[in-house]
Amino acid sequence: MHALVQGIILGVLTAGVYALMASGQSLIFGVMRVVNMAQGAMVILGAYLSYQLFASLGIDPFLALPITTAVMFGVGVGVQLLFLRPLRDDDRSQLSVLATFAVALLIEGVMTVIWNTTDRSIDTGYANASWTVFGYEITLVRLWAFLLSLVALGLLYLILNRTRFGRAVRASVQNPESARLLGVEADRVAALGYGLGTATAAAAGAVYGMLYPFNPGSHYDLISRLLSIVLLGGLGSIGGAVVGALVISVSSAVVAAAVSPIWSQMTFFVVLLLVLVIRPRGLFGTTVRGGL
């Protein structure tokens, strides 16, 4: 019973990390209908940036977030301008899978050249710290990641619902033609939207780097999980990404702790398949544009 409860606690806290990663993924699909295969690589790039700032300059990964977020935003805008904008609107969803996968491989190659293939960890003094509450361990970094994801998702909500840019994004998503007629620059919105989605990878990467060892190839394991989360939550729904992360993370942790780690991987795919059979658009996905 102790192991089961500890598993649930770990699952809930880890869900915060995944929600951070998947919210960007969902935003990018919502804005541009781009299935972003590069988000895992962006998270690992975010982890490397945090690692480098910590190792070279001693800047704490959480305090470095303004820097890493700005850099990742710039990387996202650059990728959109160079690799995604040239894609034709008609084929964007299909071709974006290939284009963003190529971007992921490119980023992996660059990371390998700069940091080689050795595993890295961000070992801050508190990276392994935990609080004992009623006999259960609450890992500090996971708790902070959970809180950080709530803050980041809250900020995303405010940007999308309370700013001019956010209105432009939602207008582009709901009715691109009308938005264009009303003066919304679709290309600019798409670039900034992709940049914003990529920027979430900075915070996710910092947390990931403190929790797990990583190397340039770590993104392959991440991307399948991220895609599962956004499919489960519903493509384009940020709230859905949070719920998807919770379902997948808690079910995996509980099964790993109480049944078997082998079945743990299988469990979330079973949950995903069941949801998709019953509700093909995911838990919170919409059949029409405007799911944000």
Partner 1 sequence: MSKHNRLWHRSLTATVAALLAVGCASGGGSNGGGSTGPLVIGASVSLTGDFSDSGKAVQHGYQLWANMVNASGGILGRQIRLDIVDDASSPTQVVTNYQNLINKDHVDLTFGPFSTLLTIPASQVAKRYGYAFLAPAGGGPAVFQPNLHNFFFVQPAPTVQSGDVLVKYLLSLPADQRPTTAAYAELDDPFSAPLAEEIRQKLEAAGVRTVYKQVYPSETMDLSPIMGAIAALHPDLIVGGTQNEDSYNQVKSLVQLKYSPKFLFQSNGANSPLEFPDQVGAANTEGIMAPADWYPGSKATGSAAFTAAYIKAYGGTAQSVDDSSAEAYAVGQVLSEVANKTHKIDNDTIISTLHSGTWPTLLGNLSWSANGAPNGEFNLVQWQGGKLLPVYPPSIAQAKPEAPKPNWGG
**Does position 119 bind partner 1 by CB under 8 A?**
yes
The minimum distance between CB 123 and partner 1, in angstroms, equals: 5
> Based on CB atoms, which residue is closest to partner 1, 137 or 187?
137
Give the residue ranges of DSSP H helices in 120-218. Answer: 140-162, 164-174, 176-181, 186-211
Burial classification of residue 45, based on how many CB atoms lie within 10 Å of its CB (0-12 exposed, 13-18 middle, 19 or more buried) = buried
Stretch 263-282 residues interacting with partner 1 (CB under 8 A) = 264-265
Backbone angles phi, psi at 279, to 5 degrees: -140, 85
**Single residue of 133, 262, 277, 278 touching partner 1 by CB under 8 A:** 262
The minimum distance between CB 107 and partner 1, in angstroms, equals: 18
Stretch 227-256 residues interacting with partner 1 (CB under 8 A) = 252-254, 256
Contact call for residues 42 and 75 (beta carbons, < 8 A): yes
Q: Which region among 3-11, 94-102, 163-171, 230-238 touches partner 1 (by CB under 8 A)?
A: 3-11
Q: How far is CA 137 from CA 9, 132, 134, 175, 211, in A?
A: 8, 5, 8, 48, 15
The minimum distance between CB 257 and partner 1, in angstroms, equals: 4
Cα gap 126→143, rounded to integer Å: 12
**Does position 181 bind partner 1 by CB under 8 A?**
no
Helix axes 2-32, 39-57, angle to 10 degrees: 110
* Closest-CA residue to 207 (of 60, 108, 72, 107): 60
**Does position 139 bind partner 1 by CB under 8 A?**
yes
- For residue 290, the tally of other CB atoms under 10 A from its CB is 12
Q: What tokens were used for 112?
A: 């390998």
> Based on CB atoms, which residue is closest to partner 1, 67 or 143?
143
Q: Which region among 1-9, 39-47, 179-187, 272-280 touches partner 1 (by CB under 8 A)?
A: 1-9
Cα gap 229→130, rounded to integer Å: 27
**Does position 211 bind partner 1 by CB under 8 A?**
yes
**Single residue of 57, 118, 177, 288 touching partner 1 by CB under 8 A:** 118
The minimum distance between CB 211 and partner 1, in angstroms, equals: 8
Stretch 26-55 residues interacting with partner 1 (CB under 8 A) = none
The minimum distance between CB 222 and partner 1, in angstroms, equals: 8
> Based on CB atoms, which residue is closest to partner 1, 12 or 150?
12
The amino acid at 37:
M
**Does position 187 bind partner 1 by CB under 8 A?**
no
**Angle CA 27–28–29, to nearest 5:** 90
The minimum distance between CB 121 and partner 1, in angstroms, equals: 5
**Does position 178 bind partner 1 by CB under 8 A?**
no
* Closest-CA residue to 250 (of 10, 52, 3): 10
Backbone angles phi, psi at 68, to 5 degrees: -65, -35
**Single residue of 257, 272, 275, 292 touching partner 1 by CB under 8 A:** 257
Cα gap 59→96, rounded to integer Å: 35
Q: Which residues bind partner 1 (CB under 8 A)?
A: 2-3, 6-7, 10-11, 14, 116-121, 123, 127-130, 132, 137, 139, 211-213, 215, 221-222, 225, 252-254, 256-258, 260-262, 264-265
